[in-house]
Structure 1
């Protein structure tokens, strides 16, 4: 087979290399063309060097096209894999730290809440530019496989306004499936799962073992599990009150609803600090910063580690490689993807992005009709969808009123802040993120003028959140490398 795959955001050490390993583990793909592109030339060079070494160790003669010119990378590509973080760590820090001054305590801040909304403004502006280039230089009908968050917002914008078929990919449901198998004491391969909802708020609406529904056994099983009853308190509480387990981690889920992080003295009740993903304040920002610092100091050691093996033993469970394999070889694959709803989930808005079971083979990607979600689950998703829609339309048009309305309607933001506080906070964030928000030039000028006049609502600049841990040194990170590699994978 001969076709081209382009990776954008290829300077992501762990993730880009993981996806690349998955793809090259398909025997038929040994002769395909690969392009890596990133705006960080140093990271791009390092990741390319590692992946090229992996190719050579596996006896594959392919040479990776590595370039900071994305149009060159996109030229003739049939598939574009997107895993960019627009604004990098600098932008990410403002997503977490500015809302904290107003009392909004986020764990991740990349999907909903104030951080996710602002991240969406940056990502959508950039991805619409990607779409323009894809339509002009990639193979006609090229598909973008999107891993960038906020996944639903970005996928929505690219499909509706970018003119490029975009499939949003996430791995939340895979982790949850294994949790469920563990608490039930049933091998994962014996269970048949049906998940449906929206990205990071997807629900296991059916779990069958040899045709027998197991949903009624979940709550008691999780409450009895020594590890998960401490680490997944939010998810278990949602399961208790809505009747269905959520695919998303405790920390992620806690910031998408209004109930668990609105009062600092209560946050500790719902989270666990054994891992950042359980709900630590700014936890994902901390570990991302630690990995960046470690990468800069320990990269030479990576070159001394054994190369990846492309015989399938190093292949992971990310959907990306399996989708491409199915489209190219006609081997069927079933996975949960983010797609335009268009009637798939009948009690969620027709125009929205839903995460549902899909089937892939040589005929393409098929999206079966799920029908209605359980009413309570649909209500939770619908509230988030309206925030997403406001944020998408704001990002595309540069309409600051829609942007502020999105923040006002966000469950956690609205639970913590009043409207004047939200208006001021968004002005602060627009100014702080100016270099990544070309669509808001006029709004940013007005925000600067407003903020310069003084008479501002007081905020707590010293507040670090309810449970924020110390950042580890590169040496400490290196000592935990094996554990972190497993987590990252």
Structure 2
């Protein structure tokens, strides 16, 4: 039976979902689940939840919990990361509040933009330390990486370590389900090919088989747009679809801050027109924090029985396929080793991947439509320079990353950008390594 290590297992709800997915497979029901977190209280809650998940599924795993990361990783076959370096406070709040002083507003700030840059700079060193432990303690491990900024993190890992890594997100399958509801077609009937970079992949094909052949479903999506039926929370993506002809995977609130077109301090009408929720991640965190204590008590209550439903996360399916040989296709974030021809070699791309006993095998997509590749390149520029800063320790690359960020550059001049970077580095203090 495999040993599956959860790093950041104090993310109790996400850990619960993944454990439920894994243990619902009979072939994995006796696996060793090793839970690690630096917060002993949250770790204890997750350990209680793990036993409840096993009970609900009539599974019999070996469940371990430890604050010692090396012990958790020792001999692991699979490691799953779900950490947040610096947490909501102080670091996420810092990522939002200091840019606001310059008039720079954000929605999520975990992938790109000045918030994504800073999140990457404080996260990459921790992930690389983790990978060095893996190289020593479990060199053949498959590392399932769920932490944002996904592309920056995975790119740095692929450059600096030998660990087999795939970055996992739920935006591809999640958006497919949303579009299925919009067009009134059961998602089970839909086939798609989706490729690009994390949070900026596009459905190159979105179709279903019929008695007469294959039906292209894009005309149905276009009909939703033309009839004014786009959901109020998804107006940014439908507008991008109108202009580019392909539908993007990540949510409207995310996508609004990856481009220079929607969030402008002197255009409040755009915020209203496209229903853009500024400071959305802050709001979500506050709601979650306010409800956590009640949720924790409920999860720990001996009388509470958990209802376990399969999530749409890819992680458990990857483990199941690698253990049993059952083939399945997922969308994973991997190095661009000739997979997308008109994106830079070595950058992190999100492409279909076949998974079986041979592991995660990315599928070559060839060339993307040129305008989609050009849009992605604006984000890859920022990712590349952030990774360069993290791996070389050169402060100049942080400035360069911020200068080339589409949203930041649309709002601030060069002097403001450099001053903002200085302020953020100072505010982060020991959460960042020293840069020279």
TM category, shorter: over 0.9
Q: What is the alpha-carbon distance in structure 2 between the residues aligned to residue 225 and residue 102 of structure 1?
A: 36
- Aligned to 2:144, the other structure's residue is in SS state strand
Map of 1:164 onto structure 2: 163
Query: Are the aligned partners of 1:153 and 1:392 in contact in 2 as well (CA < 8 Å)?
Result: yes
Q: What is the alpha-carbon distance in structure 1 between the residues aligned to residue 169 and residue 192 of structure 2?
A: 16
| Pairing of 1:61-460 with structure 2 (within 5 A) | 61-89=60-88, 90-138=90-138, 140-210=139-209, 211-224=214-227, 226=229, 228-263=230-265, 264-272=267-275, 279-304=276-301, 306-308=304-306, 314-440=309-435, 443=436
Q: What is the alpha-carbon distance in structure 1 between the residues aligned to residue 394 and residue 269 of structure 2?
A: 35
> What is the Cα deviation at residue 281 of structure 1?
1.5
Residues 126 and 267 from structure 1, CA distance in 2 versus in 1: closer, same or farther, beyond 3 angstroms?
A: farther
Query: Are the aligned partners of 1:198 and 1:338 in contact in 2 as well (CA < 8 Å)?
Result: yes
- Aligned to 1:10, the other structure's residue is in SS state coil
Q: What is the alpha-carbon distance in structure 2 between the residues aligned to residue 137 and residue 364 of structure 1?
A: 20
- Aligned to 2:291, the other structure's residue is in SS state helix
> What is the Cα deviation at residue 68 of structure 1?
1.0
Residues 225 and 12 from structure 1, CA distance in 2 versus in 1: closer, same or farther, beyond 3 angstroms?
A: farther
Long gaps (5+) in structure 2: none
Q: What is the alpha-carbon distance in structure 2 between the residues aligned to residue 384 and residue 8 of structure 1?
A: 28
Q: What is the alpha-carbon distance in structure 2 between the residues aligned to residue 60 and residue 175 of structure 1?
A: 28
- Aligned to 1:433, the other structure's residue is in SS state helix
Larger mean CA deviation between 116-125 and 204-213 belongs to 204-213
Question: Runs ≥4 in structure 1, deviation > 6 angstroms?
Answer: none
RMSD over aligned CA atoms reads 1.6
Query: Are the aligned partners of 1:257 and 1:411 in contact in 2 as well (CA < 8 Å)?
Result: yes
State TM-score, norm by structure 2: 0.95
Map of 1:473 onto structure 2: none
Query: Are the aligned partners of 1:152 and 1:198 in contact in 2 as well (CA < 8 Å)?
Result: yes
Q: Output one character per residue of 1:151-188: Cα deviation in whole Å (capped at 9) or x when no partner.
A: 01101111110221110000011121112222222221
Query: Are the aligned partners of 1:260 and 1:266 in contact in 2 as well (CA < 8 Å)?
Result: no
Query: Are the aligned partners of 2:22 and 2:29 in contact in 1 as well (CA < 8 Å)?
Result: no
- Aligned to 2:254, the other structure's residue is in SS state helix
> What is the Cα deviation at residue 298 of structure 1?
4.1
Residues 285 and 318 from structure 1, CA distance in 2 versus in 1: closer, same or farther, beyond 3 angstroms?
A: same
Residue-pair matches, total:
429
Q: Output one character per residue of 1:205-253: Cα deviation in whole Å (capped at 9) or x when no partner.
A: 1112212323244222234364x34221111111111111111101000
Long gaps (5+) in structure 1: 273-278, 444-489
Larger mean CA deviation between 366-375 and 73-82 belongs to 366-375
Query: Are the aligned partners of 1:58 and 1:309 in contact in 2 as well (CA < 8 Å)?
Result: no
Larger mean CA deviation between 171-180 and 72-81 belongs to 171-180
> What is the Cα deviation at residue 58 of structure 1?
3.9
> What is the Cα deviation at residue 128 of structure 1?
0.5
- Aligned to 2:318, the other structure's residue is in SS state helix
Residues 71 and 225 from structure 1, CA distance in 2 versus in 1: closer, same or farther, beyond 3 angstroms?
A: farther
Q: What is the alpha-carbon distance in structure 1 between the residues aligned to residue 51 and residue 430 of structure 2?
A: 33
